[in-house]
Structure 1
Amino acid sequence: MRAIRLTIEYDGTAYAGWQIQPNGLAVQQVIEGALQQLLGEAVSLRSSGRTDAGVHAAGMVAAFATTRQLPLIAFVEGTNRFLPPDIVILDAAEVAPGFRPIADAVAKHYRYTVYNSTVRSPLRRFMSWHVRERLDLEAMHAAAAHFVGRHDFAAFRASNCATKTSVRRIDAVDIVRDGETITIDVIGEGFLKNMVRVMAGTLVDIGKGRFAPEHVAWLLANPDRKKAGVTAPACGLCLIKVTYRDDI
């Protein structure tokens, strides 16, 4: 039995998220169907995490077991023949049978994109959050520095997040403006449900002047979701990369 690791890119606009669920078509479901067409056997994907409905990925990692002795390029090109235009396999690698896409990850990189303009952009509506008010990047930078380190992120998670602990480590939060586009890059060991979206929403509220930059430090010490910012729309979020020890 072989263990195959896939790196996947997808536009999540049309999907109910990564994970198979009863309320809509999931990215996982589509890829498993394509693999079954290629291999002639049922496949169960184990992923590096979940993305919500409307969230995108440039580097989702998933793994599966198969008895088929195909060359690795066939798992890429062969599967892609059965996939729709908004999902693609970028790479396939053979890994140890005990490879665990979630547990073995040492870091994840998410990017949140804000389109900061008085006029909306039809071409960017599925890939960014349109914010009309001019945002104060200096205040956002000052606030972002408080996220770095190991903290209790209970104020930055969805109310239905069932994770046992809300303590997470954040390695970096970088904010860059390029014309009317603002990107918020967050790298950390792992994330709670909606965590990056609430972080982005809070930073945008700080950029609008609703909160002072020091409010982030207060929220980390006083885990009250109701006192944090809005949950930013799913369309602006993209999983950029999942890093494993062997990749470093």
Structure 2
Amino acid sequence: MRNIQIILGYQGSSYHGWQRQKNAITVQQKVEEALKEVTGQQLEIIGASRTDSGVHANGQSANFLTHSKIPVDKIPYAINSKLPRDIRVYQALERPMDFHSRYHSTGKKYTYHVINNAFGSALDFNRAWHVQKALNIEHMIKANQHFIGTHDFAAFRSTGSSVKTSERTIYASKLWQREEKLILEIKGNGFLYNMVRIIMGTLIEVGMGKISHKDIPAIIQSRERDRAGITAPAHGLYLEKVYYENP
């Protein structure tokens, strides 16, 4: 038996998230179907992040147990030959038998993409949030700095999460503008349900003048969801990388 980790990317628009569901097509389902064709086994693949419907990934991590003897460097070629073009496996690694993609993760990096202009972008349709109103980028950058560090992020969590604690550490968070596109890049030891999308929604409301950048610390301390901004749409969110102690 072998434990294989794969790094994969996908365009999430056509899928109802990562996790397999009974009545909807998901990324996990497509990868498991491809693995069955390649290995002849009905395998369960464990994803590091259960990305929601419409969310994209450049660096999702997953692992599976298999009796297959395919050389590890050939595994991406084999799986990709059976996958749709909007899901790609980029790398495969042999891992110890106790390796678990989700439980052994030490952190994740996400980006969130916004198109800020009058008409949107045809090429970024379903790949970035279109915000028409002019934004105060300087205030958004100032607001974003308050998220760095260890905080209780209960105000930035959607209901439905069953985690024991809402305390998380944000190692780095950077917001920059590239022509008409805004990109938030955020790295932390973990994220609550919809946390990045609520942070982005809050930053947009700061940019619109609905929330002051000076109020972010008080919003964090309040732990009250209704004090923070809206939840940004899923289609602007990208899982960029999952981190492990032993890469």
Using the size of structure 1 for normalisation, the TM-score is 0.97
Instruction: Give distance in 2, aligned partners of 1:110 and 1:20.
Output: 22
What is the one-letter code of the residue matched to 2:29?
A: Q
Render the CA deviation track for 1:161-213: whole Å, top value 9, x for unaligned: 22221111111110010000000001000111101000000001101111011
Matches within 5 A, 1:165-204: 165-204=165-204
Render the CA deviation track for 1:139-169: whole Å, top value 9, x for unaligned: 1111111111111111111112222211111
For residue 86 of structure 1, what is the aligned residue in structure 2? Answer: 86
Matched, 1:235 2:227: no
Secondary structure in 2 matching 1:24:
coil
For residue 246 of structure 1, what is the aligned residue in structure 2? Answer: 246
Q: Give the deviation of 1:233 after TM superposition.
A: 0.4
Asked if the contact 1:58/1:239 (under 8 Å) is kept, the reply is yes
For residue 2 of structure 1, what is the aligned residue in structure 2? Answer: 2
Render the CA deviation track for 1:43-84: whole Å, top value 9, x for unaligned: 111111110000000000000001111101331001111100
Using the size of structure 2 for normalisation, the TM-score is 0.98
Name which of structure 1's ranges 232-241 and 66-75 shifts more when overlaid on structure 2.
66-75
What is the one-letter code of the residue matched to 1:20?
A: R
Matches within 5 A, 1:95-174: 95-174=95-174
Render the CA deviation track for 1:8-48: whole Å, top value 9, x for unaligned: 00000010100012341110011001001000011111111
What is the one-letter code of the residue matched to 2:232?
A: A
Instruction: Give distance in 1, aligned partners of 2:74 and 2:43.
Output: 15
For residue 215 of structure 2, what is the aligned residue in structure 1? Answer: 215
Instruction: Give distance in 2, aligned partners of 1:21 and 1:118.
Output: 37
Instruction: Give distance in 1, aligned partners of 2:26 and 2:125.
Output: 21
Instruction: Give distance in 1, aligned partners of 2:22 and 2:154.
Output: 28
What is the one-letter code of the residue matched to 2:118?
A: T
Instruction: Give distance in 2, aligned partners of 1:103 and 1:218.
Output: 32
Runs of 4+ in 1 over 4 A off after TM superposition: none
Asked if the contact 1:16/1:23 (under 8 Å) is kept, the reply is no
Instruction: Give distance in 2, aligned partners of 1:51 and 1:86.
Output: 15
Instruction: Give distance in 1, aligned partners of 2:35 and 2:46.
Output: 13
CA RMSD of aligned residues (A): 0.9
Asked if the contact 1:166/1:192 (under 8 Å) is kept, the reply is yes
Secondary structure in 2 matching 1:123:
coil
Matched, 1:77 2:56: no
For residue 63 of structure 1, what is the aligned residue in structure 2? Answer: 63
Asked if the contact 1:117/1:180 (under 8 Å) is kept, the reply is yes
Instruction: Give distance in 1, aligned partners of 2:221 and 2:60.
Output: 32
How many percent identity over aligned positions? 38
Q: How many residues align?
A: 247
Render the CA deviation track for 1:102-153: whole Å, top value 9, x for unaligned: 2221221000000011122222111100001121111111111111111111
